[in-house]
A and B are shown apart, each in its own frame.
Chain A
Amino acid sequence: MSSADRLHNLTQGTAQERAEAAESLAQQGPNAAFAATELVKACGDEQAISDWAVAALEELGPPPTAAISSLAKLTGSDNAQTAYWAITLLGRAGREAASHQNLLAEILEQSGEISLKERAAWGLGRMHADSAKAVMALKQAALSQNERLSRLSGKSLQTQT
């Protein structure tokens, strides 16, 4: 299956084709990075597809620069798993995604999902976030009673020193 075929099937195929495409991408490791955005979207698909999409994303490494903007949009997805992985990939992009730090800061401040807040805190550290909004959000989160959120936020604040 060519990369183009995988991408086509993942986004437009039948359920079986989407699952097979996601599985095939999961076997590519970092070579599947070209499908980063589509894989993140697939996290909101049926479990037979999303499990493989998640597996692919775990092995993907950082996303290509060209995908960063589209990933940023997906951080606002109604599907928590899609949002989670969009945030994760932005975090993996590090400083390259720093222009989206305020987006992650908003998630850290406002998301109702603790896993998304935690990932946002982690991602801001990876970005070496230094905007006033990001720093404020991290400082606030560092005071959280949630130990993990507090820890991740505190650690991310240290990346600025």
Chain B
Amino acid sequence: MARKKSKFTLLMWLLFSGLSGGGITGYLIPSVPIIGPIITKLTAKGKTVAAGSGEILIDSATGLLNGQSPHRYSPSTAVAGQLASARQPANGQSQVTANTAAAGGRQGNGKLLIASFNIQVLGQSKISKPGMKELLAHVIRQFDLVAIQEVRAKADNVIPEIVAAVNTNGSRYNFVIGPRLGRSNSKEQYTYVFNTNTVEHDPSSKGTVNDPKDLLHREPFVTRFRARTQSPSQAFTFWMVNIHTDPDEVPEEVDALADVFQVMQKARADEDDVILLGDLNASEKQLARLGRIPGMQWTVRGVMTNTRQNKAYDNILFQGQATREYTGRWGVYDLESNLGLSRDQALQVSDHLPIWAEFSVWEAPAPTTTVGHSSPYN
């Protein structure tokens, strides 16, 4: 622990002392088109590159979502479902100690840590700060899968560089990124960064939610993942719905997300797990119709999720009766206490903190009855 602390002390010094460091490699990312009607067809093209090679893994996406081959996940030797060892105690508590033995991406206890992180203006200027890539890499490694919001960059090198930084310790993370979205010239991308040792991505599943009524400033970027286990047919599979709402139209957008969620629940007859997460610009008390979906659960309750500790706008939501893979453990990753940063230093990373929730790697059996609405398995 002391060695890791001193390493981070060095990183923090580099970060804030103005010294330069690190090289830049660039990658091209094929655009992911905005599709519609909602998630019924994908026509994005790309190329497949081996995970962990330091290059982008982007798979061709053809055909319809419904009726996809069950073997659509990237081929790999099944990795034992060994995941992170005991993580931080949470359920409302911030992670106040840096327990690197419980770092995400390590294997052991059959659990997945899924996180959401709004990294304020994640672009070239941020990752060019000395030590910043390494710091973000460290944070990302705490989790198996991270939904990131606010990628703001003209060029396409930012996330590849961060993922390369994540993988400098031998990790095998990869990413999938969405299109640039927004009504003004300042556009954002959503991305998912995931540990390929513990999570598999369904390359045929990615897309941007169709929004014909233009209710959403930045339509959610959705895609599907599966826990990587020795028994893929029993592994937890789930949709991820990444969102960053417009702070000036929050009630309307949160209301629209209720429809988005319910559409995603029906997107595949064989997929009942939808995890909607991100910066909603709304506290748990402002979830309105989204929060009133029967059985809806959200993880963040009663704690702040921004660096200034005065807002709780980030959350992870799912339908509790469907997503019984949720273990009940969740948390907010405090940048200051975990990384020894001052408030100002933490704000240089982001004005939001990562939030996370833990899920079993094994798919829970389908419920026989559901309260309030008919079973999705009819």
A8-24 at interface with B (beta carbon < 8 Å): 19, 23
Contact of A147 with B213 in the complex, beta carbons under 8 Å = yes
- Across the interface, A19 reaches (CB within 8 A) one of B125, B152, B183, B212, namely B125
B98-136 at interface with A (beta carbon < 8 Å): 120-121, 123-125
Contact of A84 with B184 in the complex, beta carbons under 8 Å = yes
Most buried by A among B150, B184, B249, B308: B184
Given A52-B121, A59-B351, residue A81 in contact with residue B308 (CB < 8 A): no
Main secondary structure of the interface of B (DSSP, over half): loop
Q: Is B270 an interface residue (CB 8 A)?
A: no
Contact of B248 with A81 in the complex, beta carbons under 8 Å = no
Q: Is B283 an interface residue (CB 8 A)?
A: no
Q: Is A48 an interface residue (CB 8 A)?
A: yes
Residues of A near B185 (CB, < 8 A) are 50, 80-81
Contact of A118 with B183 in the complex, beta carbons under 8 Å = yes
Contact of A51 with B186 in the complex, beta carbons under 8 Å = yes
Q: Is B347 an interface residue (CB 8 A)?
A: yes
- Across the interface, B351 reaches (CB within 8 A) one of A29, A80, A91, namely A29
Closest to A148 in B: B214
Residues of A near B348 (CB, < 8 A) are 23, 27
Q: Is B367 an interface residue (CB 8 A)?
A: no
Produce 1/0 per residue, B154-179, CB < 8 A to A: 10000000000000000000000000
Closest to A89 in B: B248
Q: Is B247 an interface residue (CB 8 A)?
A: yes
Closest to A91 in B: B248
Contact of A115 with B183 in the complex, beta carbons under 8 Å = yes
Shortest distance from the beta carbon of A27 to any chain B beta carbon, whole Å: 4
CA distance A85 to B121 in the complex (A): 17
Residues of A near B347 (CB, < 8 A) are 27
CA distance A26 to B118 in the complex (A): 14
Shortest distance from the beta carbon of A3 to any chain B beta carbon, whole Å: 14
Residues of B near A91 (CB, < 8 A) are 248
Given A19-B125, A23-B125, A29-B351, residue A80 in contact with residue B214 (CB < 8 A): no
Residues of A near B215 (CB, < 8 A) are 148
Contact of A81 with B154 in the complex, beta carbons under 8 Å = no
CA distance A85 to B184 in the complex (A): 9
Residues of A near B214 (CB, < 8 A) are 147-148
Closest to A79 in B: B185
- Across the interface, B213 reaches (CB within 8 A) one of A23, A54, A81, A151, namely A151
CA distance A152 to B123 in the complex (A): 32
Q: Is A92 an interface residue (CB 8 A)?
A: yes
CA distance A47 to B248 in the complex (A): 22
Closest to A20 in B: B125
Chain A contact-residue range equals 20 to 34
Residues of B near A54 (CB, < 8 A) are 184, 186
Number of interface residues of B (CB under 8 A): 24
- Across the interface, A26 reaches (CB within 8 A) one of B154, B308, B344, B351, namely B351
Residues of A near B247 (CB, < 8 A) are 58-59
Contact of B121 with A92 in the complex, beta carbons under 8 Å = no
Contact of A122 with B249 in the complex, beta carbons under 8 Å = yes
Given A47-B154, A59-B351, A81-B184, residue A148 in contact with residue B213 (CB < 8 A): yes
Produce 1/0 per residue, B182-216, CB < 8 A to A: 01111000000000000000000000000011110
Shortest distance from the beta carbon of A25 to any chain B beta carbon, whole Å: 11
B206-253 at interface with A (beta carbon < 8 Å): 212-215, 247-249
CA distance A131 to B185 in the complex (A): 31
Residues of B near A52 (CB, < 8 A) are 121, 125
Residues of A near B213 (CB, < 8 A) are 147-148, 151
Shortest distance from the beta carbon of B188 to any chain A beta carbon, whole Å: 10
CA distance A81 to B248 in the complex (A): 15
Contact of A51 with B123 in the complex, beta carbons under 8 Å = yes
- Across the interface, B120 reaches (CB within 8 A) one of A26, A84, A115, A118, namely A26
Closest to B186 in A: A54
Residues of B near A26 (CB, < 8 A) are 120-121, 351
Residues of A near B183 (CB, < 8 A) are 115, 118
Q: Is A88 an interface residue (CB 8 A)?
A: yes
Given A27-B351, A59-B247, residue A50 in contact with residue B186 (CB < 8 A): yes
CA distance A118 to B214 in the complex (A): 11
Shortest distance from the beta carbon of B154 to any chain A beta carbon, whole Å: 6
Residues of B near A151 (CB, < 8 A) are 213
Residues of A near B120 (CB, < 8 A) are 26-27, 55
* 10 A-B contacts (beta carbon < 8 Å): A23-B121, A26-B120, A27-B344, A27-B347, A27-B348, A48-B123, A52-B121, A81-B186, A85-B184, A147-B213
3 closest pairs, A vs B, by CB? A148-B214, A27-B347, A54-B186
A-to-B contact residues, CB < 8 Å: 19, 23, 26-27, 29, 43, 47-48, 50-52, 54-55, 58-59, 80-81, 84-85, 88, 91-92, 115, 118, 122, 147-148, 151
B-to-A contact residues, CB < 8 Å: 120-121, 123-125, 150, 152, 154, 183-186, 212-215, 247-249, 308, 344, 347-348, 351
